[in-house]
Homo-oligomer: A and B are copies of this chain.
Amino acid sequence: MSDIRIDPDRLLADLDTLRSFGQCETGVVRPAYSEAELAARGWLAERLRAAGLEVAVDPVGNLFGLPRSDAPCLLVGSHSDSQPEGGWLDGAYGVIAGLEVARASRESGGPPIAVVSFQDEEGRFTTLTGSSVWAGQMSLEEARRLTDNAGRTLAEVCRQPQGLPAPVAVAPDRFRAFLEIHIEQGPVLDTSGEKIGVVESIVGIRSERLRFTGQQNHAGTTPMHLRHDAVQGFVRFAERLNARFAEVVTPATVWTVGHVAVHPNASSIVPGRVDFTVQWRDAETARLDAMTEIVRRTAEDVAGEMGLGHERSSYATIPPSACDPGLIEILAEAAEATAPGKWRRMPSGALHDAANAAHRMPMAMLFVPSKGGISHSFAEDTERADLVLGAQALARAAARV
């Protein structure tokens, strides 16, 4: 086995070219099916062909660069769409790193490597649309009926850049494993000064939408002991939830009360109703379950103590995805060889296409630092040297899978 030697200048030049599609004064604007994203994918198809790969587009619009041989091979990639006002690296880095590793491998007589850019990872229609259909988590028919915020269906807006072949299914079982490199989108590596994160799992997500119902009343004439104040119920709930969660969480567990809506929301009226969300993420299903139980018990306890009604109006759950233990060790060896002592094992708190790939094949991921932990923002950035280091670790691992 010989190492795959990537060309840093070619990697960064291609990344800059991809950045130029949808580039505005402040950043990159390239949501799925926008003109900019279609142009970017057309260019990307050309680069895959130039790297000696065969271009294929599947029915939901995932773009593949495939080795000529049908023998099961490694698949490397990410997505090339951005948030509506997103950054330039989220997704794009993983696609270009995959392209560079695949062509460098071909040039140096390494193993055949396939590349993918998944469709609509950022959720114009739903989170991870393209990889969900590809991995069989959602039917194509279901996906085509999804609507965006403007009410248009995926079927209506779905188009291909000019010059691409007719859609064809690209079966997951022709790939042996999936690797994805991505910016961290959080502050852990940037804060610690480390260069590479070896992802051990993609966290599961639970969320509940809760409602406390009290008695709307006059804020002057209603004595405190006769109130059923929904905001006070929310406050007690949130404080107690923190205390109870503290008994079961790890430092990697996160939880968020991100949405709060008070009714009638006037300074002189005792609030009669509060709707709010609680979302929590962890890599262990058992811990997610324990937290669900705490959320429900705490809502029940507080409602009982304060004479409030409570209900749960929706519930969402995305299971955790474990990375493959063998692949983790290969990535860990590559990280240590590339950035000795400057890497860590960590969970991914964000969702990635790799979570869908995990349903069909061994999967693992690498992270590089995000400056200031900022992502989904025009300010998203990573040092160029760190982008190169990450791709070098990916190349070293790809040669060993």
Contact = CB atoms under 8 A, between A and B. Distances in A.
B258 A218 contact: no
B265 A260 contact: yes
Count of this chain's copies in the oligomeric assembly:
2
A188 interface: yes
Contacts of A261: 265
Contact of A187 (B207, B223, B350): B223
Interface stretch (A44-52, A73-81, A171-179, A233-241): A233-241
B277 A267 contact: yes
Interface stretch (A149-157, A268-276, A286-294, A389-397): A268-276
10 smallest beta-carbon distances between A and B, as pairs: A186-B221, A220-B349, A267-B277, A219-B256, A221-B349, A235-B238, A220-B350, A258-B267, A185-B221, A260-B262
B266 A223 contact: no
A254 B349 contact: no
Kindly name the residue among A253, A257, A270, A375 whose own CB sees the greatest number of chain B CB atoms within 10 A: A257
Contacts of A255: 224
Contacts of A265: 258-261
Interface of A: 184-188, 191, 203, 205, 207, 209, 217-226, 229, 231-232, 234-236, 238-239, 242, 251-262, 265-271, 277, 279, 281, 348-351, 373, 375-376
Contacts of A231: 238, 257-258, 260
Contact of A373 (B187, B222, B224): B222
18 contacts: A184-B221, A185-B218, A186-B221, A187-B222, A188-B226, A203-B220, A205-B220, A209-B267, A218-B373, A220-B254, A220-B348, A221-B349, A223-B251, A224-B254, A231-B238, A231-B258, A260-B265, A268-B279
Contact of A268 (B224, B232, B256, B266): B256
Contact of A226 (B184, B269, B373): B373
Nearest to A367: B221
Contacts of A207: 267
Contacts of A270: 256, 258
A395 to B, nearest CB: 25
A186 B218 contact: yes
Contacts of A254: 219-220, 222-224
A57 to B, nearest CB: 30
Given A186-B218, A186-B223, A187-B223, A258 B268 contact: yes
